[in-house]
Amino acid sequence: MDYLKAFIVGGIICAIVQIFMDKTKLLPGRIMVGLVVIGTILGVFGFYEPFIEFAGYGASVPLMGFGNVLMKGVKEAVDKEGFIGIFMGGFKASAIGISAALVFGYLASLIFDSKMKE
């Protein structure tokens, strides 16, 4: 049942994003930033953790989950380090995800031939 909930919730998030990409003039980068900001805001107000408990990886893997991870990392670092935690907390909390994105993006660029849109 956990897999089904994760699949459905992740699919709904992706479908909503696809609708925004198809029906608006927003660029994909802006939509992605919007997802991170939404995840951060939901995390600040305490709505994202119950959402993750319900949907599992269907809520934590998309970009909204990344925003929530950044928020939690900054919050923990500010509690420990003070003001400087604002700058280092997000990097510490999300280092694995950022590193994986860079490595797999590089590997994909070696394997596939990119083409510009016309």
Mean pLDDT per 10-residue segment, the chain (118 residues): 89 91 89 91 91 86 85 90 88 86 91 76
Give residue 118's pLDDT: 64
Residue-wise pLDDT for 60-82, tens only, equals 877 888 888 888 899 999 999 89
Give residue 117's pLDDT: 65
Three-class SS state of 47: coil
CA distance 25 to 37: 19
Give residue 114's pLDDT: 74
User: Is the entire prediction scored with pTM above 0.85?
Assistant: no
Contact residues for 97 (Cβ-Cβ < 8 A; gap 6+) = 66, 69
